[in-house]
Amino acid sequence: MEAWIWFTLLAATMQAVRTAAQKTLAAHISPMTATLVRYLFGLPFVLAYLRLVGPADTAAAVSQLSENSTFIIYATLGSVAQILATVWLIKALGYRNFAVGTSFAKTEALQTAVFGAVFFAASLSPFGWIAVMLGVAGTLVVSLPQPGKPAELPCAAYGILAGTGFAVTSLWLREASLSLPYSFVQNAALTLAAMVSLQTVICLLYTLIRQPDELLQLRHRLPIAIFIGAASAMGSVGWYTAMTYNNPALVKSLGQVEFLLTLAISVFVFKERITARELLGMLTIIASVVIVLLLA
C-alpha cells in the first residue's frame, strides 16, 4: 500500500485512543485544559520525532521558517483552527455517548472536500466523492436521536463546528507543509513541530490567565495526560504526513475507520450500547473505505 494509507491508519487509530482518554480526563477539567494537555504533553514527543526524521541541519531549517510568509500564515491559521475544533469536539462529547458525539465531527471529510475544491482546487475523482459521501452518511446515521428522545442540537452544533475546524486545519496545514523545500516526511515534521509549539503557547497562556486553578488538577492526573500527549503526537504525525502526501479529503475519508474504532471503544471501554442503526452506519463507513482503497 502507498505510504499515505499507512500514515492515515496510524493517525485514525491514535486519534480514537486519544479522544477516548480525553473524554475521561474532560470529566475532571475544562475543555480548554483538556485541549492544552493534547499539545503540552505531546510537544516533547513531536520534537523528538523532528530530531529523528528532520533535515540534516534541523536548527537551520527551523530558523528559516520565519522567513517563509506562506508557511507562517497557513501554520498560524491551522493552529488556531485546530485548537477551536478540539474544544468544540470535547464539548460535543459531553452531550451524548462517545461514539455519537464523535460522529458529528466526522462531517469534516465532506467539509474538507468542499472547501478544498472551492478554495484550493483540490478536486476529487467521482469515486472519491462517492467515498466521502458514504463515509459522512454512515457517521450521520448513528447521530440521529433514538426513537422518543429529543434531538440534542448543542451536540450537533458543537460537533459540526469541530468538523469545520478540523477541515480547514487539514487544508491549511497541507499548504504550510508544501511551502517547505524538503521531503514530504520532513516537511510534515517541521510543520507539526511549529504548529504544536504555537498551540502549546496559546493554550497555556489562556489557561494561566483565565483558569489557573485547572493546572493544579493536572498534577493529580499526570499519567493519563502523558498518555494523551503521546497518542496525540503519534496521531498528528500520521495526519500531517498523510495530508502532505495526498488530498486531505481522501485522507479524511479513509480516516473514517477511526469511527469503527470509536464504536469498539464505546462498547468495550465505556460500556455503551450500540444499536442496529449504528451497525448500519458502520457498514456504510466500511464501504466508503473500500472505495478509497480500491477505486478513488
CA dist., res. 292 & res. 288, Å (int): 6
* Cβ-contact 229, 44 below 8 angstroms: yes
Whole-prediction pTM: 0.84
Give Cα separations from 92 to 23, 221, 278 (angstroms): 10, 22, 18
Helices (H), 69-148: 69-93, 98-105, 108-119, 126-141
- pLDDT exceeds 90 at position 147: no
Confidence of residue 145 (pLDDT cuts 50, 70, 90): low
pLDDT at position 144, please?
65
- pLDDT exceeds 90 at position 92: no
- pLDDT exceeds 90 at position 237: yes
CA dist., res. 293 & res. 131, Å (int): 10
- Could you tell me what percent of the chain has a pLDDT over 70? 88
pLDDT in tens, 266-278: 777 767 676 777 7
Confidence of residue 97 (pLDDT cuts 50, 70, 90): low
Q: Take residue 3 and report the three cell numbers written for it.
A: 505510504
